[in-house]
């Protein structure tokens, strides 16, 4: 089935919004298609960017490689630091902590993953933390890190505003046009309901064939003009508010994000080279803005260097991320919540998907439907991983945590958790974002203890298993002890010349 746009074939691509999503899209499209399309990004400095979104996951490195972005230049520009994972405090119980690293833990065999061998080791009294078998976890615990040559799997902490500026320069170099102006109206073609142009406050009209809506929570095109419904996630994800502010640095930056659970939500700490990003995510049903603010202020590590900002949001996803000739990218398309830093990844993933299903001439409904199907599956899966952190709490000390513990969860997630409890195996589909070790680390970190493991792990006798585990731990220790401190790595690798 093919729908015809008023002006086909596609020649003009208009990106509405110049936050991280808009500029990511402009960077990729201009690099790939720069010569063939006329690409224009419209943003309003009056409205500005949301300014949060400073923790990433390792997939961003792949994106940068595809674009040919130099890592050192990027790190210097965005005041970046390395991120080996996330430390979770007070999530299972008050006072405890665990680490979700980006690395591979131990060694798997073709039939089963490492957690089965680790569980078998416990039977013989080898009670060594799971993270001691993972270079990323161990390096994080010792505040060490290394660049890509070491084989570590890492992501970045970055200054979101500087990152958008960095991508802007990159995009302009590759031919993207930049228009500053306030979009006042989205004009629709009466023939087919497609977006025809964006009318700016100063009277300019920006016409296009394909529009990317990157206007953040405003969703001016996909929602404002095309009324594409939002599927809310609020019944699974109780938090709906955040307070964000920046503080001075009072210690060397840690090579990981911290997520500290409080009585009604959680707090993030994201260290950059020149300052730290901080915030509190909370449920307005369980706490007032004033009390949330007081909690954040009491738990800061350094003095604030910006005024706190309260951000209200509705978690969920667009029912169709692509509607007519408009594709939602970034916050216009979905928002899970920042716990596992999935948003920038999902924006990036939407851009890859658009590349894969790019309309040849006219927009074909089969392209659109496949794009929408994949977007929905991907976002719902990432959502489930985040829900799990809340649901598997053992805390019952506040109304908020009792709600999380007892709330109904999606069936697919309930099945995954049950499978792990019963067998220590992780149910994975093709091409999932969070792989075996992520699910294992979070489930075990939250106190889930499987009642059985794979029989292959019993093929080794006690001595063989002890030697095997000891050998793996030794390798990790040796690798990590050769790494510089995170601060030293930054000094050598990520400072502007």
Question: Residues 344, 351, 413, 490: which binds ligand FAD (CB under 6 A)?
Answer: 344
Q: Binding to ligand FAD by residue 375, rule CB under 6 A?
A: no
Using the minimum distance from each CB to ligand FAD, give the nearer residue, 271 or 450: 271
Q: Give 256's DSSP letter.
A: S
Do you know the residue count of the chain? 497
DSSP SS3 for 55: strand
**Binding piece for ligand FAD, criterion CB under 6 A, among 61-69, 84-92, 169-177, 338-346:** 338-346
Smallest separation, CB 472 to ligand FAD (Å): 32
# binding residues, ligand FAD (CB under 6 A): 38
Smallest separation, CB 380 to ligand FAD (Å): 17
Q: Binding to ligand FAD by residue 220, rule CB under 6 A?
A: yes
Using the minimum distance from each CB to ligand FAD, give the nearer residue, 187 or 311: 311
Smallest separation, CB 333 to ligand FAD (Å): 8
317-336: contacts with ligand FAD (CB under 6 A): 330-331
Using the minimum distance from each CB to ligand FAD, give the nearer residue, 56 or 372: 56
Q: Binding to ligand FAD by residue 80, rule CB under 6 A?
A: no
Smallest separation, CB 48 to ligand FAD (Å): 6
Q: Which of 31, 35, 65, 83 is catalytic?
A: 83
**Is 331 marked as a binding-site residue?**
yes
Those residues whose C-beta lies under 8 Å from the C-beta of residue 170, and which sit 6 or more positions away, are 27, 31, 67, 69
Q: In whole angstroms, what is the distance from residue 81 CA to residue 333 CA?
A: 28
Tokens of 331: 């916050």
Using the minimum distance from each CB to ligand FAD, give the nearer residue, 43 or 159: 43
**Binding piece for ligand FAD, criterion CB under 6 A, among 42-50, 283-291, 363-371, 463-471:** 42-50
Those residues whose C-beta lies under 8 Å from the C-beta of residue 70, and which sit 6 or more positions away, are none
Q: Binding to ligand FAD by residue 417, rule CB under 6 A?
A: no
Tokens of 22: 């808009």
Q: In whole angstroms, what is the distance from residue 416 CA to residue 422 CA?
A: 10
Question: Residues 39, 53, 84, 114: which binds ligand FAD (CB under 6 A)?
Answer: 53
What would the 3-class secondary structure string for 312-374 be? ECCCEEECCCEECCEEECHHHCEECCHHHCCHHHHHHHHHHHHHHCCCCCCEEHHHHHHHHHH
**Is 344 marked as a binding-site residue?**
yes
260-279: contacts with ligand FAD (CB under 6 A): 279
Q: Binding to ligand FAD by residue 244, rule CB under 6 A?
A: yes
Q: Binding to ligand FAD by residue 259, rule CB under 6 A?
A: no
Signed CA dihedral, 232, 238, 243, 244: sign only:
negative
Helix, strand, coil shares, percent, the chain, to 5: 40, 20, 40
Using the minimum distance from each CB to ligand FAD, give the nearer residue, 115 or 257: 257
Q: In whole angstroms, what is the distance from residue 174 CA to residue 172 CA?
A: 5
Q: In whole angstroms, what is the distance from residue 142 CA to residue 353 CA?
A: 38
Tokens of 308: 């706190």
Using the minimum distance from each CB to ligand FAD, give the nearer residue, 20 or 367: 20
Angle at which helix 365-391 crosses helix 436-445, to 10 degrees, equals 30
Q: In whole angstroms, what is the distance from residue 382 CA to residue 208 CA?
A: 32
Query: Mask of contacts with ligand FAD, 129-168, x by CB under 6 A?
Result: -------------------------------x--------
Using the minimum distance from each CB to ligand FAD, give the nearer residue, 202 or 461: 202
Q: In whole angstroms, what is the distance from residue 396 CA to residue 401 CA?
A: 6
Smallest separation, CB 13 to ligand FAD (Å): 16
Q: In whole angstroms, what is the distance from residue 173 CA to residue 168 CA?
A: 8
Q: Binding to ligand FAD by residue 49, rule CB under 6 A?
A: yes
Degrees, nearest 5: CA angle 397-402-340:
100
Smallest separation, CB 444 to ligand FAD (Å): 24
Q: Binding to ligand FAD by residue 216, rule CB under 6 A?
A: yes
Beta strands in 248-296 (DSSP E): 257-262, 265-271, 276-282
Contact between 269 and 86 under an 8 Å Cβ cutoff? The reply is: no
Q: In whole angstroms, what is the distance from residue 263 CA to residue 409 CA?
A: 21
Using the minimum distance from each CB to ligand FAD, give the nearer residue, 22 or 359: 22
User: Is 83 among the catalytic positions?
Assistant: yes
DSSP SS3 for 154: coil
Q: Binding to ligand FAD by residue 44, rule CB under 6 A?
A: yes
The binding site for 7-chloro-L-tryptophan comprises 83
Residues that bind ligand FAD (CB under 6 A): 17-22, 42-44, 47-50, 52-56, 160, 182-183, 214-216, 218, 220, 242, 244, 279, 311, 313, 330-331, 338, 341, 343-344, 347
The binding site for L-tryptophan comprises 340
The binding site comprises 83, 331, 340, 344
The binding site for FAD comprises 331, 344
**Residue numbers annotated as active site:** 83
């Amino acid at each position: 089935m093919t729908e015809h746009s008023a002006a086909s074939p596609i020649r003009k691509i208009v990106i509405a919004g110049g936050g991280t999503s808009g500029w990511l899209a402009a960077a990729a499209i201009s690099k790939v298609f720069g010569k063939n399309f006329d690409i224009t990004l419209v943003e309003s400095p009056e409205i500005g960017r949301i300014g949060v979104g400073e923790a990433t996951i390792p997939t961003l490195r792949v994106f940068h490689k595809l674009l040919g972005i130099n890592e050192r230049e990027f790190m210097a520009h965005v005041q970046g630091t390395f991120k080996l994972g996330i430390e979770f405090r007070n999530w299972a119980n008050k006072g405890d902590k665990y680490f979700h690293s980006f690395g591979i833990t131990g060694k798997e065999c073709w039939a089963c993953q490492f957690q089965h061998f680790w569980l078998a080791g416990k039977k013989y009294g080898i009670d060594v933390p799971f993270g001691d078998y993972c270079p990323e976890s161990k390096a994080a615990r010792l505040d060490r890190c290394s660049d890509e040559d070491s084989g570590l799997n890492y992501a970045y902490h970055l200054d979101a505003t500087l990152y958008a500026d960095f991508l802007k320069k990159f995009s302009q170099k590759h031919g993207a046009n930049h228009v500053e102006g306030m979009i006042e109206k989205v004009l629709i073609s009466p023939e087919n309901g497609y977006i025809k142009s964006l009318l700016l406050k100063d009277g300019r009209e920006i016409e296009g064939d394909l529009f990317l809506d990157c206007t953040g929570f405003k969703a001016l095109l996909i929602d404002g003009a095309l009324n594409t419904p939002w599927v809310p996630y609020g019944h699974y994800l109780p938090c709906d508010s955040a307070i964000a502010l920046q503080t001075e640095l009072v210690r060397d930056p840690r090579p990981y994000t911290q997520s500290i659970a409080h009585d009604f939500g959680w707090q993030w700490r994201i260290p950059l080279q020149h300052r730290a990003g901080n915030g509190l995510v909370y449920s307005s049903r369980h706490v007032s803005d004033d009390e949330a603010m007081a909690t954040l202020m009491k738990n800061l590590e350094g003095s604030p260097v910006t005024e706190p900002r309260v951000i209200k949001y509705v978690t969920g996803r667009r029912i169709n991320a692509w509607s007519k000739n408009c594709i939602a990218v970034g916050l216009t398309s979905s928002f899970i919540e920042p716990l596992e830093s999935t948003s920038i990844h999902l924006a990036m993933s939407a851009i890859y998907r658009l590349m894969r299903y790019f309309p040849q001439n006219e927009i074909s409904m089969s392209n659109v439907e496949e794009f929408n199907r994949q977007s929905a599956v991907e976002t719902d899966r990432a959502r489930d991983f985040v829900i799990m952190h809340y649901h598997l709490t053992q805390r019952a000390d506040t109304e908020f945590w009792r709600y999380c513990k007892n709330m109904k969860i999606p069936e697919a997630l309930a099945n995954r958790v049950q499978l792990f409890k019963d067998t220590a195996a992780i149910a994975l589909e093709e091409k999932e974002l969070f792989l075996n070790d992520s699910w294992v680390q979070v489930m075990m970190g939250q106190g889930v203890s499987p009642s059985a493991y794979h029989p292959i792990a019993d093929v080794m006798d006690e001595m063989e298993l002890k030697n095997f585990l000891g050998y793996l731990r030794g390798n990790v220790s040796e690798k990590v002890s050769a790494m510089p401190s995170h601060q030293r790595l930054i000094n050598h690798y990520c400072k502007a010349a």
